[in-house]
């Protein structure tokens, strides 16, 4: 089995609610790249932009063909 390497990079943006009384909030986004043996980074596109690191992991696993079903408990 060949080893594959991936990199997840956090990016994001600052946004405020339009008033001068509040500091803007930072909203992270994540981009996924496959790193080739020669070090080239090729972006992996998933279904939507991940806004949580867990969503980036989930998108990467789906990209690799791993089927994931999340079942939440009752709280």
Local confidence pLDDT in tens for the 75 residues of the chain? 568 999 999 999 998 877 777 888 899 999 999 999 999 999 998 888 899 999 999 999 999 999 888 888 987
Q: How many CB atoms within 10 Å of residue 32?
A: 20
Assess if residue 9 is contained within a domain.
Answer: yes
Assess if residue 33 is contained within a domain.
Answer: yes
Residue 1 is predicted with a pLDDT of 54
Cα angle at 53 between 5 and 22, to 5 degrees? Answer: 140
Helix (H) or strand (E) holding 56: helix 53-63
Assess if residue 75 is contained within a domain.
Answer: no
What pTM value is reported for the model? 0.76
Helix (H) or strand (E) holding 9: strand 5-15
- What total number of domains does the chain contain? 1
Range of the domain at 27: 5-63
Assess if residue 72 is contained within a domain.
Answer: no
């Amino acid at each position: 089995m060949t080893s594959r390497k991936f990199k997840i990079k956090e990016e994001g943006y600052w946004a405020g609610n339009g008033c001068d009384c509040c500091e803007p909030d930072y909203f992270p986004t994540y981009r996924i790249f496959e790193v080739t043996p020669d070090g080239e980074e090729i972006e992996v596109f998933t279904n939507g932009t991940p806004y949580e690191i867990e969503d980036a992991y989930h998108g990467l696993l789906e990209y690799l063909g791993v089927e994931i079903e999340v079942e939440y408990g009752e709280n």
